């Protein structure tokens, strides 16, 4: 089985990305220690909310995106207080679903 591909590509949320520095096979002193590790495509690191510490604030799934830095897809959550965060996409999560973290949430 394979997951459905996303035909529409979404630009990542600008406030949640940083550029990953290219190491190009160099060690801490700057000398080449691994050969053939030249240029590559610029990659943006998406900041993932692993703690899920936004308690008792409901959020809506805005987009589900591809992340070039990991195998899992990520979901952009827009909370009711205006904040946006990325989380790893759980099974059966769709765009428009509502999520809630904290003591009042359902746990399956």
3-state SS record for 3-54: CCCCCCCCCCCHHHEEECCCCCCECCCCCECCCCCCCCCCCEEECECCCCCC
pLDDT of residue 5: 54
pLDDT of residue 10: 76
**Residue indicated by tokens 């949430």:** 105
pLDDT of residue 3: 54
Residues of the chain with pLDDT under 50: 1, 7
User: If you ran DSSP here, which 8-state letter would residue 72 be given?
Assistant: S
CA-CA distance, 16 to 51, in Å (whole number)?
A: 15
**Beta strands 98-99; 84-88: pairing state:** unpaired
pLDDT of residue 7: 47
Decide: residue 77, CB within 10 A, 0-12 exposed, 13-18 middle, 19+ buried: buried
User: What's the pTM?
Assistant: 0.76
CA-CA distance, 12 to 68, in Å (whole number)?
A: 11
């Amino acid at each position: 089985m394979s997951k459905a591909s996303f035909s529409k590509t979404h630009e990542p949320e600008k406030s949640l990305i940083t550029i990953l520095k290219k190491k190009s096979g160099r060690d801490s002193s700057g000398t080449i220690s691994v050969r053939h590790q030249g240029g590559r495509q610029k990659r943006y690191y998406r900041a993932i909310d692993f703690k899920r510490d936004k308690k008792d604030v409901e959020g809506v799934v805005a987009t589900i995106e591809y992340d070039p830095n990991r195998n899992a897809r990520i979901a952009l959550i827009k909370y009711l207080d205006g904040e946006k965060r990325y989380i790893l996409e759980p099974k059966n999560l769709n765009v428009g679903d509502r999520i809630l973290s904290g003591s009042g949430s359902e746990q399956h």
